[in-house]
Structures are given as structure tokens and as C-alpha cells.
Structure 1
Amino acid sequence: MSAAASCLLTEDQCLCSICLDVFTDPVAIPCGHNFCKTCITIHWDKHVTYQCPNCKEVFDSRPQLRVNTFISEVATQFRQSAQQKASSSSSEQQVSKPGEVPCEICTGTKLKALKSCLVCLESYCETHLQPHLTKSGLKRHQLIDPVEDLEDRMCPKHDKLLELFCKTDQTCVCMLCTVLDHQTHKVVPLKEEYEGKKAELGETEAEIQQMIQKRRLKIEEIKHSVELSKEDADRETAEGVQVFTALKESVERSQAELIDTIKEKQRKIEKQAEGFIKELQQEISVLKKRRTEVEQLSQSEDHLHLLQSCTSLNAVPPTKDWTGVSVRPPSYEGTVVRAVSQLEETLSKQMKKLLAEAELKRVQQSAVDLTLDLDTAHPALILSDDGKQVSCGDVRKKLPNNPERFDCCPGVLAKQSFSSGRFYYEVQVKGKTDWDLGVVRESINRKGKITVTPQNGYWTICLRNENEYVACVDPSVRLSLKSPPQKVGVFVDYEEGLVSFYDVDAAALISSFTGCCFTEKLYPFFSPCPNYAGKNSAPLIISPVNHTE
């Protein structure tokens, strides 16, 4: 009879719709639906009305509950079958680990929950989830990824699912809340508010990601600054060591020269004294010999011999008069002072030279690559194919008189312009008798006669008549140079308002414009000047910068 009975009921019919598990002490209520006795008792204890959880039929009084022995027997068989099935499949399913949501239906070993039901407020493993996937009444329940504390999703005041959102109070509410407590408030479904908040979170996430990216870029910028600082520090340290090593060598050299000078004076005194002593010792030897001869003669008993020898031995041998002879120690007074004074002068010259070399090294770090702009060149100028050389010819070419071109002054600009930072370039001027070099602002006058001054946007120096170097200001200032430069370096610090010119080979500063106010683009300016029948035919050459060692 048990086997026949089990065939009459399906698995769904053996499950309680409240606990979703196989019936335990199944009871039937007047509408015909069956539940676990404990499940329906607890359900009615929580609610004021006695209503069937399935069909919603309301009973006037609480029905009496009697266990249905037939269904109980069938449920027992299904429970045994389910346990066997669960035990065989539990090895395939994952056991719940700490931090994971466990199945609330499993007894004994808790398996990992796959879903949580917002209606039943319980979480289920794969086996106990099956009724929600197969039973028509349970398919309508809302399943979500497993979460703990499902009770928090119920309204604490009305014991109803929190499925709405009050935008006025910014809180989740149930259906009863909208009628009783939030009647005049703006209420929307949770999904609608969820979508809105999700979009806002997306925007916030994007904003945060952008902020993170900016900070990452700032980190890279700071790291790059530190690297540049380290490079500068290493370079300055190397240059400092070089300068102080050179100065130290000069001091040691001067010290050695002082000691040698003093020792040389002492050697001369010692040599003079040795000569005197040797000469005195020789005279002593002669006198000792004469004394011996006189002593022997004085003791002679031979009257004739004494008288005959006395004449030759009676006189003292000729010797040097040593009365005025003396060894005078040399005077060392002022030796150290003179040596230190000479050292100071040497160090001063050397320091100026070393500092000039260090300064040139520093500005050479801002070297740029320039090319001459043919569209700005005076018609008489001849430019090389690579745009690195310019000289002045005898023939004025027919070229378009565009606004950028010089038509009277034999000048040309570089293609590159600069409106910030620092830049440096070098120009070979070897063999020339006249030239102009410097920088100009973009808006300079390029037509007709031009007065080359800073007021007119020109910061330049020039050579005239082979040996007259001039800073082009109003009035012009003649420059004093120790030797004619063969290569001129031009350095500009836009923000500092500085334009400096260097003799590259001598590592010496020629001249500087300071306190300049730059507000426009600056262009390097070159003028080879007229060739004066071949006397000034050598070109100006933009040279690659070879950093001084």
C-alpha cells in the first residue's frame, strides 16, 4: 500500500509551501491545502487573520489541526528518498565555508546556498532550490544571489517585504507604509530607485576612477620630478667634486711649492756651511802639521839644525781671515704670506674658470635643435639644404615679399619658436668679420631699416669690423673680450627674462640681457651681414651642442 500511495503523489505535493521541505506531521485545513503542523501554527501565530497561505481563504475561527496519516506516510518515504538523493549529490555541491551563505534547509552539514528568496526569506542550496524552479506557485517568488540577514528586508513595523522606496524620507518601505506613514510622500518601486542610484553610482565610480587616474598621473609626475632632481643633484655633485678637486689640487700644489722653496733655502745654507767647514778643517790640518814640526824642532839638541830650520818654521802658515765670515740663516719672513697671496690669486682665476665651465654645462642642458626658416630669409641670403648654415651672397634673389621676410636687414629666423621655459643653441662664427646673433619677438618689424634694440623686440649682440663686439642696446655698449670667440652659445630663460651669450671654447660669459619682459613667442635670430666683396663670406653655422667635459 505504501508503494501505491507514493505513486499517487508527486514530489511537489509532498512539500510544504511554507518551509518548502517535505512534510513533517502534515495537516489539512478546511480549504484542502496541506502544511506541516508546526509551519501553519507559527504562520497563524504571527498573523491576526486565519488565512490559507496558498489560496488566501479566510476562516472565521482557527481550524483544528489533525495529522493526515496517509500524506504523512507518503512524505516519510519522500523524505527518505530525498535524503538519499541529497547525500549522493552533496559530494558534488560545495559545503558552506566561513563567510559564505549556508542553506537554511539543510540539516547536519550545511551546503553553500545558490539563491535567496525575498518572499520566503530563506536561502537554498541546489537541492532545496528545486521547488522554486519547478513549482508554479513558487516560480513567482523573487530570487536573488545568496545574502544573509534576510529578515532585514522585512518592514520591522508591518512585517511586510520592503519593496518600495520613499524618495521624500530616503528610506525603504513596504506597501502598508505607503498607506499609513508615507501617504503624501513620493514613493517609487525599489527597482526604479535602484536603477537611478545605480546610474549615480556609475557616475560616482567614473568620477572616482578619474580622480584615481589623476592622482596616479600626479604620482608619476612627482616621481619624474624626483628623478630629474636626482639627475640634477648627481650632476651638481659631480661638478662640485670636480671644482673642489681642482681647487684642492691647486692648494696642494702651492703647499708643495712653498715647502720646496723653504727646503731649497735650507739646502743652500747647509751647502755654504759645509764649504766653510771643509775649508776650516783643511786649514786645521795644515796648522796641526806645522805645530808638530815646531814641537819637534823645539826639542832638538842640534844647535845648527834648529837655527837653520827655525827661519822656515818660525812663521805661521798663510790662512784665511775668518773674522768676517759667518753663516746667516735665510729670512723666511713673508714667505707664507706671499705663497698664500699667490694661491689666492690662482684660486680666484681658477674658480672663475671652473664656475664659468659649470655654468656653461648647466645651460647646455637646455640645448634645442634649430633649423633656419627660408620664408623669413632676406633675398640675398644663401641657406644650406639642411637649414643649418646661412651666408650672404652678391645677388638678391626674386622671392615673394611675404610679411615674414626681411627685405632690408640681411637676417633670417629659426623655424622653432619658444614661449616658455629655457632653450640654448650654439652658432659657429669662425672666419667672419661681421655678424648679429640673438633672439627676437614674433611681432618685430621686418621691413625697411631696423633699429636693433630690446625696445624694438631684439635682444642681440654683434661683431663689427673684425674686433668690435657690441651689445645692441640704446646706446650700444662695447664689449671687452680677451679673445675672439669661434663659437657663440645663446641661452634664454623665458620666465626669468634672461638672454645670455657665451664664448663656448673659452667657457666664458660674453654678455647678458636681464630683467626682460617676454610676452610673445621668441625666435632665434641670425644675420651673417653683407659679405663685403668676399671678406665676410664665411657662413654662420648652427652647431650641434657638445656638452663640455
Structure 2
Amino acid sequence: MAFAASLADLQEEASCPVCLDYLTDPVTIHCGHNFCLFCIHQCWEDLQDIFPCPVCLHHCPDRSFKKNPQLCHLTDIVKQLPTTSSKRKGQEEKPLCEKHNQVLALFCEEDMELLCPQCRVSSDHRDHPQTPTEQAAASHRRKLRSYIKPLRKQIEDAELGREIQVSKSLTEVQWKMKKWRRELHSEFEELNDFLRKEQVAIHGRLLMQEKDVEEKLTQYISQISNHMSRLQNLLSEITEKCSQGDLEFLTGIESIHNRYEHLKCPAVFSYELRKESCNFPPHYFGLQNMMSTFQVDLTLDPETAHPNLIISKDRKSVIYRTTEANCLDHHEAFTSYPAVLSCEGFGAGRHFWQVELRGTGEWSLGVCRNFPSNALIPPRPKDGWGQFQRCTRTWGTGHTGQAMRIGVFLDYELGEVSYYNWNSRSYLYTLTDTFTGKLMPYFSIGPSSKSLTISMVLDER
């Protein structure tokens, strides 16, 4: 066994590193390596200043080399010896350059290609960094192994992200659907049998949206699963690649690098829900359009408030409070009738606002140009107050339970103030007059009221 190994070593020493055959006309170059005369001539054929050794890349100063008669004689003797199987096997396992039929002993780091000594000096690779195959394989093996841990981490993160995204998306969709169903159900109850069929239709569309989101979510899960599969396959391929021999390992290495560097995780799952609304009767569409087109945001003016009225900090609500007669805090405050004006006034155009009434008691809503300080009742056109008679109002008694919402629509040029029950989306009535000057919305609470609250409402639906 030892003899066979020694014989194989001897035959290898008598072989040319370029052609892998027995040395023919052996010569020794500056670094001490031996080659066939023809092989070293071929390697240096197109070079001018620097002549690298095909084995160690040592730069020889010139083309000088020495013939080696002793090695030539030794090679002739070795040729007479029987060829060992290991020698034949070694020759078969070493791939040769398809272009130059020389051993692929170098690796181009820029083009990620195996090179033979003659490829190394070609114009395609001459200026590229090159390393011996053993060194290149060790370097890239370390680099690929460094991919293993990040890949495993990416797989774990992708799996965790999938679980979180699925749970969050389903919960959010279900919550939104539940909320919207409650709102829609409330409106359907107010419109009774007329909207029952529409409720079924809208629920069907919501269900379709929900199914659509679920389908998209299923697609997203599939994309994440495919991404994880690609990561797992790449991880397995890299793990297997790292166990291969140098030449086999370096073959196709660029593909693995490119796939790892261009890994792209699927985009974060997103969806857009379309909120459904009830298909209300024709008159409801008119109210909705009026509200969305002409709605204004009003605030109460504390300077005009009766002393028994408490204005909220945001100036959106007023509460009636019974007090003993006392001096007025503001010279413009209404002394006899609990009322307050809006800060905003209108001298033209169309305007819509909503009022929410809670509690029990009398209330009055309208518009006026001014309000007398000694008024005992709300202003009315028939009272003949001159400049103060330009007003309209509604008058009623509040009720307990659900808050009452009243909509007021002012058409200045047409001379109309219309009132709507916003709970039932129904028309109440319209007062007409000829308007001049600036009109101020006003809000009154009857003297017999004890716990009535009037609030401004800005409906953003």
C-alpha cells in the first residue's frame, strides 16, 4: 500500500501541472516549478512584461527557464513503471478547460469563473482578482456558511410574521364588519320593513368583501409559504454545496450568490375595505346630499348667552340651570328668555346644521337678525318687532330616552328655513320670510325646562 502511494507521488512529480501528462522536454522556471517546454511557451505566448507561474502565480522577471536533463531522464524511467489506479483516477477527476484543455487551477473573483493558466492571461480576465482554487473554495465556503444562520432567522421571522399578520388582519376585518353591521342595523330599524331587503343585499356585499379579503389573505399566505419554501431550498442547497469538493463547489457558485443577494420578501399584506351604506328612499338621498354639501360647523357665543345657560368649553353644548334673579354678566345676554346665538352668521347662500336634544323641556330653534334684551318669549314674525322680527323657529317638547336630532336648513335667497327629524330622516315643516341683513342661528330653552341639553352635531358620515 505504501509502495503504491509512493509510486503515485513519483508519477505526479513527473507530470506537467498544465497538461497533466508526463513531462516532455521539461524545463524549470524561476520559482522552481517544472513544466513541459511547449506548455510553458503556450502559457506565456501573449505576455510581455510579467510572466506568472501557472501553479503559484510567482512573477518571473523574464521568459528565462532552464532545461532539466535529469528530470527528463527521470521521467523516461517513470514512464516505464505501471500506471497506478489512483494516478488515473486523479487525472480523470480534475476537469480541464474546454477552451485550452488545461487544468482549471484558478478562480476569477469578479466573474465567478474557474480559469486555466491560459484563461488567466486573456483580455477577459487579465485585470480581475484571481486566486488558486483551493483558496477561493475556502473563502467562498466560509461566505456561504455565513448565509445559513441569517437564512434560518429569515425563515423564523417569515413564519412569525405570517401568524401575526393573519391574526391581526382577520381580527381587524371581523371587528370592522361587526361595527358596520351594528350601524347599518340601527338605520334599518328606523326605516322598518322598507329597508329589510336592502339590509340582506348589503350584508351580502359585506360578506363578499370579507370573502375577498380572505381570498387575498389566502394568496398572501401562499406567497409567504412559497417564499419560505424558496428560503428553505436555498438553505438546503447551500448546506449541500458547502460539503462539495472545491471544483464542484465553485461550479455554479454565482447563481447561489445572486439568488441570496436578490431575495425579496413578499409585500406586507394590505387590503382596502369599501364601507357600504344603506340604499335609503329618494327623499333620504336628498337629505344626505344637502348635509354633505351645505353642512356648517357652528359654535355658541357665550357673550349672548342667558345667565341660566351653561356653555361647554368647546362651545358646542348648552345646558339650562335654574338660578335666582341676578345681574347680567354680559350686557348683550338675553335677560328673560334662556337663549344663545351662534358665533357664525349668514347673509347669503344655503347652510345646514344639526342639533341634538337630550332631556325634557321646551326648546326653540331658529334664525334671527337680532334679539331684544327684554324678550319674554322666542321671537316670532307675527310679533311685529321691526328689525328683530326676521326670524323662524320650531317649538316643541323634548322626550326621554333616545336623543332627538333636528336638522335646520337655511336657504337665504329663497327665504326659507326648513326643519327635519334626523332620527327618522323625515321632513317636519318650512317657515318662509324675506330675509335682509345677517341672520344668526339661535337656540332657546323654555323656562320650564330643567335638564335639557342642546348640542351641535357635525355628521361626518
Q: TM-score, normalised by structure 2?
A: 0.36
Structure with the larger RCO, 1 or 2 (CA within 8 Å, 6+ apart) = 2
Larger radius of gyration: 1
